[in-house]
Structure 1
Amino acid sequence: MDANADGLLEEADFAALTARWLAVRDRDPERDARLKTIMMGWWSTLLNTSDLNRDNKVTLDEVLLVVDRLGTMLDVVAGTARAMFEAVDENGDGEITADEYRRLVEAWSGRRVNTDEIFPLLDTDGDGRLSKAEFAELWTEFWAGNDPDAPGTWVFGRFDLPVGGR
């Protein structure tokens, strides 16, 4: 998410992420506005909960301090899961398809990504799509879980786990 690679998250990084996401999906003014609202709202929440020195920048250490507390803040995690589901579900049909998921990962990574091997790991019931409930469980596993083998580990695509786990 650190668009300028300065080791900090700033509002401009979330604006750049939002622009990347809009660039890889079908355009619709109403859905585009909703995506912008969700993403910039997430930035505001991250800033308010993580920016300990109030410099309008968030370091990795500040983010990790909040992540370490998410297991006791499951209502917050569930709220972000609902908002992100809405953002990823581009056509509003109540399901996330493999293509919608791929566009999410491409937007977050800033590059083209093949998610054909990852989506089936997330789609635990094998029906070819993620329901709101499935996504919420995956999102919670990613942000508040501690099992590196859980399917939710791969919500943002494949990556190498750091030495020693999360």
Structure 2
Amino acid sequence: MATDFQRRKVAVVFEAMDADGNGYLDESDFEALTERWVGLRGWAPGTADHERMRSIMMGWWSAISTMSGAEHDDKVSLDELMNVVDQLPEMQDAVHATADAMFDAIDENGDDRIALTEHKQVVYAWKGSDEGIEEVFPQLDINGDGHLSRAEFRDLWTAFWSGDDPDSPSQWVFGRY
């Protein structure tokens, strides 16, 4: 069962994804997240980048809605999302695949590294604010080289979603909360 710490950090992401503020996630929230992200990047509908991002976001929605045990038609509450979080430690391959898909989406210039500017964009797309990212990015950049490698990002993403260590840098993957 998820801890209070896990619930607090996931609740911030949940609130950011709940575009209409109705207390549930549904398909339209993931469409809105897609549109925020592609809007920041200037990817027009029908382009390969737009369709790839939409596929990633809608795939995530499909997985969450299926795994959550949602009691509401096509809606997922925070409690139901926490049901998914509870399952993640046994699903490392799926978590890593999601991390890799997110990494590819964030790595705007395709150099196989996430720079501060790219990380700021993704946090802004998720939360509508990139406040404090300059302060937390060095904590995420574990080896101090100024970028997040795929391995660093995968570890951070996995630890954010399935970890319970308030001292882990992974707690800042979506910025301050």
Q: Does the Cα contact within 8 Å between 1:31 and 1:90 map onto a contact in 2?
A: no
Name the TM-score, length of structure 2 as normaliser: 0.84
Correspondence list, 1:8-157, <5 A: 8-27=24-43, 29-53=47-71, 55-157=73-175
SS of 2:142's partner is: coil
Partners of 1:39 and 1:131 in 2: how far apart? Answer: 22
- What is the aligned-residue identity percentage? 51
The letter for the 2-side match of 1:128 is: G
Q: Does the Cα contact within 8 Å between 1:102 and 1:114 map onto a contact in 2?
A: no
Q: String of CA shifts for 1:100-144, please: whole Å, max 9, x gaps.
A: 100000000123534111111100111111111000000111011
Structure 1 residues 148 and 114, CA, compared in 2 at 3 Å: closer, same or farther? closer
For the aligned residue pairs, the C-alpha RMSD in angstroms reads: 1.5
* Segment drifting more, 63-72 vs 101-110: 63-72
Structure 1 residues 48 and 124, CA, compared in 2 at 3 Å: closer, same or farther? same
User: Greater share of strand residues, 1 or 2?
Assistant: 1
* Structure 1, unpaired ranges of 5+: 160-166
User: Greater share of helix residues, 1 or 2?
Assistant: 2
* Structure 2, unpaired ranges of 5+: 1-16
Partners of 1:40 and 1:89 in 2: how far apart? Answer: 19
Partners of 2:38 and 2:166 in 1: how far apart? Answer: 30
Q: Does the Cα contact within 8 Å between 1:142 and 1:152 map onto a contact in 2?
A: yes
Relative contact order, higher structure (CA 8 A, sep 6+): 2
Name the TM-score, length of structure 1 as normaliser: 0.90
